[in-house]
Structure formats: C-alpha cells, structure tokens
Amino acid sequence: MPPSPASCRAGRLGVFIGVAILALGASPRAGHAQLAVVVNPGNTLADLSLDKLRRLFLGQAKTFPTGQHARLARHTPSAATFDRDALGLQPEIVRSRWMALIFRGEVTVVPTDLASADDVKQFVRSHPDAIAFMPAAQVDQSVKVLAIDGKRPGDSTYALR
C-alpha cells in the first residue's frame, strides 16, 4: 500500500530534523578560574563598576568612565568563565551579541583574543588604552589590576570568583 501524503510529510520533516541536528554537532565547555581585570599601569583608573565592565565587554560602551577609549582583549582560555561570571551570559550568547553588533554597523572591531596570560600582559603593556581579563594567579607588576565594585581578586564578594 502506498504511503499517505500525511506520512510522507512527517517523514520529510523527520529527515530534515535529523540531518539538521547531526549537522550541528556538539561543542566543549571551558573550565573555571578566578579572574582579574587588568589595564595598563599608566591608566589612572583604579576601580570599575561591574555594570560598566559588562557594557564594555558587550559592546554597549567604548570608553572608560574617564572618557578614554577602551581597547578590549580577552584571555581565550578564560573567556567562557568571564562570560558566565562577569557578563552573566553563556559564551555563545556573547558571541552572538558581538556578531549582531557588527552586522548592525554598531562596531567595527571585536575584542582581541589572546591565547596566553603572557600575551595578555604584553598586549596591556603595549597599549595605554587596553583592558583585559586573565587568571588572577598569573598577574604580575607589569599590569594594573582593577577593583570591580570596590572588590579585588581574593575578596570574598569579588564579582569574578
């Protein structure tokens, strides 16, 4: 007996769903470490609000509270932790937000991704307007750690725990 039109439609729909899910695959999730927000030692800023930090790394603001341009960089191995802890968003949502900003014409550059803590420190030392995040344990005197809402890494209520 030939299949009914309804079962043909259901079959085509099932095949389409299956192919789509197989095509999408799976992605890994990153680990977790306490992070520090760092700037160039010449930056006069000492404290940043969590709200301003979020606006900067979501592309909604382009300047420090002082009015100085902010150049963003991300420590790639810590990015997932930063997105969840500081921005309160899943990493893919953050990626999606930046994609949307580019396609709207709101931004022309995205944060610079850096693979190691040494790369982050080198970047921040080289750019007076830089701001980045990196593992707090790997910070040294070459960069300046910002307090976030008045709290520093190690404080019990520090936002990027």
Among the listed residues 125, 122, 132, the one whose alpha carbon sits nearest the alpha carbon of residue 72: 132
**Beta sheet of 71-75, edge-to-edge order:** 47-48, 144-148, 35-39, 130-135, 71-75, 112-114
CB of 62 to other proteins, least distance (A): 4
Kindly write down the DSSP assignment for every residue of 22-38, as one continuous string.
HHH----------EEEE
151 binds other proteins (CB under 8 A): no
> For the chain, what percentages of helix, strand and coil (3-state, to nearest 5) are there?
40, 20, 40
**Selected binder of other proteins within 23, 28, 42, 141 (CB under 8 A):** 23
31 binds other proteins (CB under 8 A): no
90 binds other proteins (CB under 8 A): yes
Q: How big is the site for other proteins, counted in residues (CB under 8 A)?
A: 43
Nearer Cβ to other proteins (95/151): 95
Nearer Cβ to other proteins (1/24): 24
102 binds other proteins (CB under 8 A): yes
Binding site for other proteins (CB under 8 A): 9, 12-13, 16-17, 20-21, 23-25, 27, 51, 54-55, 58, 60-63, 67-69, 71, 87-90, 92-93, 95-96, 99-100, 102-106, 108-109, 127-129
